[in-house]
A and B are shown apart, each in its own frame.
Chain A
Amino acid sequence: MVHLAHLLLKNYHGGHVVIRFARGGCANRPYFRIVAAYNKRARDSKYLEQVGCYDPLPNSQNEKLVGLNIERLKHWIGCGANITKPVGKLLGNYFFHSELFACIS
């Protein structure tokens, strides 16, 4: 059998993994998925893994819901993924000092 899959997959020269937002939802109604993807990929296209979600519009209780899969997030940060500024701002809201340091180290 001829194995061609790995040759057909896109190879990046000098690309790296980032954790960033992928926008979903509709016009005037954003919804973000927090996603671990290659840097060179389009914003909403194939990602490596979804690591959370963020709804920027507040609900009836005036809350913005964020779900984070901490275990997988730690894994990707451990693998050397970069974090974009908006995601970093969101995570900065969540983590308080000691846990952030524990997470990264």
Chain B
Amino acid sequence: MAALGASRCLWCRAVAARRLQRPGPALLGSRGRSSEAGERTSGATKPCFTDEAVQSLLSKLTGLDLQKVFRPLKQELKPPTYKLMTEEQLEEATEKALQEAKRILKMPPVLSKRAPIDDVLAEDRILEGTETAKYVFTDITYGIPHRERFIVVREPSGVLRKATWEERDRMIQVYFPKKERKVIPSPVFNDENLMTVFQKGHHEDILNLCIAQFEPDSANYIRVHHRTYDDIDKYGRYDLLRSTRHFGGMVWYLVNKKTTDGLLIDMIQRNLLNDATCLITLYHMLHPDCQSAKATKEEEVHGVDLIKVFVKTESQKVGYIELALQAYEEALASSAALSNKSLI
């Protein structure tokens, strides 16, 4: 009965998950181009967010808690469907659900901020004073990628300039509307209102809204994401994002900022030592010049010893991490002793 219930949950959520917003093909195309540009400029030495090794480490850290991925979302009410399955069919259904979960957990892109557009095309001072409002001209020719559209603004002062990124996004949303995106971004994304959102614990929801509303390389997108990650790091609520598609981005940000201590403590306290070692490997990949990276290169260190080496050289909250490690080891020892006693 429990198995039936679980499979019912998985099937319903798998169907519902297909309706969730995903980045469209145009965005994927431009994302591919910008990430290539990022790789070229960063050079062969620094690993990029999209590298296979980095992505595999980040997906291991994200985890795959099926119950959380397919938890009930606020959607239209439908009566639940029940299916009677054999053991094999149930296994197949779980397999399919795992594949679907992997697709849902695909990480949104991490790009650097786009450079502001500052191009003046013409200056016709004759037109000064003839108009009171700006004219925004958009080229609505079908079939041009949105990044290459001509969007041009004629100011009342007679200056003809290219539109800024915010104006471009607004115009493209007016003439080629995307679902779930508003023409004028909602005031939820202002800093004061973000505080209220974080207090209520809606980090994941605000990140999903942000992905729907802004382009990945816009200043607002990066600002909202960084604020969310900082808030989670400050209050240690990493579990809110675990098993969602935002966890990888958060880990990438923290490792680049070198403030991974809180996350390490949280992982040790939840007995996720594999995740902790993954995190430290990622840190060494990104900062190969730090002391712990060099130390671990010389001697092949694994597991708890790797964490200890890292803690001694790189972290700020040495005391906290060592306490957590001690507690973990004591818990291991006591559980081992208990299991020995039960065997006897």
Contact = CB atoms under 8 A, between A and B. Distances in A.
A103 to B, nearest CB: 12
A48 interface: no
Q: Which of B121, B127, B134, B153 has the most CB of A within 10 A?
A: B134
Contacts of A62: 132-134
B150 interface: yes
Interface stretch (A2-10, A64-72, A80-88): A64-72
B138 A67 contact: yes
Contacts of B138: 65-68
Nearest to A52: B140
A65 B141 contact: no
A25 interface: no
Contacts, number: 60
B140 to A, nearest CB: 4
Given A70-B150, A94-B152, A64 B141 contact: no
A67 B176 CA distance: 11
Interface residues of B, number: 25
B140 A68 contact: yes
A13 interface: no
Interface residues of A, number: 20
Given A60-B184, A65-B174, A93-B135, A71 B141 contact: yes
Interface string A49-66: 000100000101111111
A55 B171 CA distance: 13
A52 B174 CA distance: 13
B137 A68 contact: yes
B36 interface: no
Contacts of A64: 133-136
Contacts of B137: 66-68, 93-94
A58 B155 CA distance: 13
Contacts of B175: 67
B122 interface: yes
Q: Which of B154, B174, B175 has the most CB of A within 10 A?
A: B154
B183 to A, nearest CB: 9
A71 B120 CA distance: 23
B135 A63 contact: yes
Contacts of A63: 133-136, 153
B121 A96 contact: yes
B139 A70 contact: yes
B105 interface: no
A3 B27 CA distance: 48
Interface in A39-54: 52
Nearest to B151: A67
B160 interface: yes
A18 B150 CA distance: 24
B135 A66 contact: yes
Given A58-B133, A94-B154, A65 B171 contact: yes
A29 interface: no
Interface in B166-181: 170-171, 174-175
Interface string B182-201: 00100000000000000000
Nearest to B133: A58
Interface in B78-118: none
Given A60-B184, A62-B134, A67-B140, 7 more contacts: A52-B140, A63-B133, A65-B171, A67-B139, A68-B137, A94-B135, A96-B121
Q: Which 3 A-B pairs have the closest CB atoms?
A: A96-B122, A58-B133, A67-B140
9 contacts: A58-B134, A61-B170, A64-B134, A66-B135, A66-B137, A67-B140, A69-B142, A94-B135, A96-B160
